[in-house]
Structure 1
Amino acid sequence: MSKRLRKLLIISGALFALGLLINSLTNRGTCSYYGFQTDRETKYAAFVGCMVKVSGNWVLRSELRAVQ
């Protein structure tokens, strides 16, 4: 493997990891802000999404209308 290809793979891997980190922080912030706006308890679960506490149970924010 050439040095140029190795550098390119390292840089692309680092950019991918940075993108994942930024996306995760954005999703967590959005979930937290939703909880602040609605005065509800929220948490962000990785690979699941924003969860909202309703009647003692955690429900996905996207499925909240079905529960209410």
Structure 2
Amino acid sequence: MSKRLRQALIILGVLLVAGLLISSIIKRGVCSYYGYQTDRETKYAPFVGCMVKASGNWVLRSELRAIQ
């Protein structure tokens, strides 16, 4: 493997990890802001999404309308 190809793969890997971290931070912020706006308790669960506490149970934010 050439030196340039190895450097390009390392840079690509670093950019991918940085993108995933930034995406996660943004999603957590959006979830927290939703809780602030609606005055509800929220938490962000990795690989699941934004969870909202409704009737004592944690429910996905996207499925909250079906519960109400």
- TM-score range, shorter-chain basis? over 0.9
Q: C-alpha offsets along residues 1-47 of structure 1, whole Å, 9 cap, x if unaligned?
A: 11000000000000000000000000000000000000000000000
Does the residue aligned with 2:47 lie in a helix, a strand or coil?
coil
Give the length in aligned residue pairs.
Answer: 68
Does the residue aligned with 1:44 lie in a helix, a strand or coil?
strand
Residue 49 (str. 1) matches residue 53 (str. 2): no
| Mapped partners of 2:48, 2:59: distance in 1 | 10
| Mapped partners of 2:17, 2:8: distance in 1 | 14
| Mapped partners of 1:66, 1:16: distance in 2 | 35
Cα RMSD of the aligned pairs, angstroms, is 0.3
Counterpart of 1:35? 35
Residue 15 (str. 1) matches residue 15 (str. 2): yes
Structure 2 spans left out of the alignment, 5+ residues: none
Q: Percent identity?
A: 76
Q: TM-score, normalised by structure 1?
A: 0.99
Runs of 4+ aligned residues of structure 1 deviating over 3 Å after TM superposition are: none
Q: C-alpha offsets along residues 43-66 of structure 1, whole Å, 9 cap, x if unaligned?
A: 000000000000110000000000
